[in-house]
Chain A
Amino acid sequence: GAGVSQSPSNKVTEKGKDVELRCDPISGHTALYWYRQRLGQGLEFLIYFQGNSAPDKSGLPSDRFSAERTGESVSTLTIQRTQQEDSAVYLCASSLVGTSGSYNEQFFGPGTRLTVL
């Protein structure tokens, strides 16, 4: 596709359930990012994938959160035993990561709106 896609667009789940969110980056983009945005708040970095390197998981808020990426394609973010404070929009972005000094614009997907009841 032409842009970053995410699914589902909306997810309502009950507290304690596991959820899986999917991101399809732009073809050829080596970098992929997951962010969380709570209502009225800024973007909170979660995890970063770059090619076949080990992901940077420094933003994951707890061990209930995990993410995987297959090569330079699809990524899934999994939240186990969801809590009400996990309710937010989860945004995925991809970019080309070039040489030092290059401008690496991020392209965002439309997000998944997660509501934990």
Chain B
Amino acid sequence: RKEVEQDPGPFNVPEGATVAFNCTYSNSASQSFFWYRQDCRKEPKLLMSVYSSGNEDGRFTAQLNRASQYISLLIRDSKLSDSATYLCVVNPGEEGGSYIPTFGRGTSLIVHP
């Protein structure tokens, strides 16, 4: 089983749609979780951290489910500019034995007019 798994997509949605991505992880001791966004031929950039209680930033909502070992990202009212690859990142942290984050392969989102 891969350490961090994501559906590669692509998810092809119209503008204004709501879309959700999930990401599962295998290390139950993992401590911190992130969603990064990577545009074509660009470096990854932090979209949002994922907190235990869940968190929201405008149209974006992130959730963590430790019992089932997955995180999710919900995008409401999709914009054309949301088209990108969304990377799930899991950081074991000290308790998990490493500060080396594990990146998922990414989920591709295409928002069309």
Q: Which residues of A contact B (CB under 8 A)?
A: 31, 33, 35, 41-43, 45, 48, 50, 56, 91, 97, 99-111
Write the chain A residue with the least CB distance to B85: A42
SS class, residues of chain B in contact with chain A: mixed
Complex partner residue of A101 from B31, B44, B89, B104, CB under 8 angstroms: B31
Give CA–CA (A108, B44) in the complex, Å.
7
Instruction: Provide the residues of chain A in CB contact with B42, threshold 8 Å.
Output: 110
Q: Which one of B13-21, B56-64, B91-99 is at the A interface?
A: B91-99
Q: Among the listed A41, A91, A104, A110, which residue makes an inter-chain contact with B32, where contact means beta carbons less than 8 Å apart?
A: A104
> What are 19 sample pairs from A and B whose C-beta atoms fall under 8 A apart?
A35-B103, A42-B103, A42-B104, A45-B100, A45-B102, A48-B99, A99-B94, A100-B31, A100-B95, A101-B31, A101-B32, A101-B93, A102-B32, A103-B34, A104-B93, A104-B101, A105-B46, A106-B89, A110-B43
Minimal beta-carbon separation of B65 from chain A (angstroms): 18
| Alpha-carbon gap, A81 to B93, bound state (A) | 35
Nearest residue in B to A39 (C-beta to C-beta)?
B41
Say whether chain A's binding surface is mostly helix, strand, loop, or mixed.
loop
Q: Does the CB pair B91–A104 fall under 8 Å?
A: yes
Query: What is B's interface to A at a CB cutoff of 8 Å?
Result: 31-32, 34, 42-46, 49, 87, 89, 91, 93-95, 98-106
A-B complex: 9 closest residue pairs judged by Cβ atoms: A100-B94, A42-B105, A108-B43, A43-B103, A103-B32, A105-B46, A103-B49, A48-B100, A97-B99
Residues in A whose Cβ lies below 8 Å from that of B32: 101-104
Cβ contact within 8 Å between A111 and B100 = no
Instruction: Please determine whether A107 and B46 come into contact, CB atoms closer than 8 angstroms.
Output: yes
A33-B100, A97-B99, A101-B95 given; 14 more Cβ-contact pairs under 8 Å: A31-B99, A42-B103, A43-B87, A43-B103, A45-B100, A50-B99, A56-B98, A101-B31, A101-B32, A102-B32, A103-B49, A104-B93, A105-B34, A108-B45
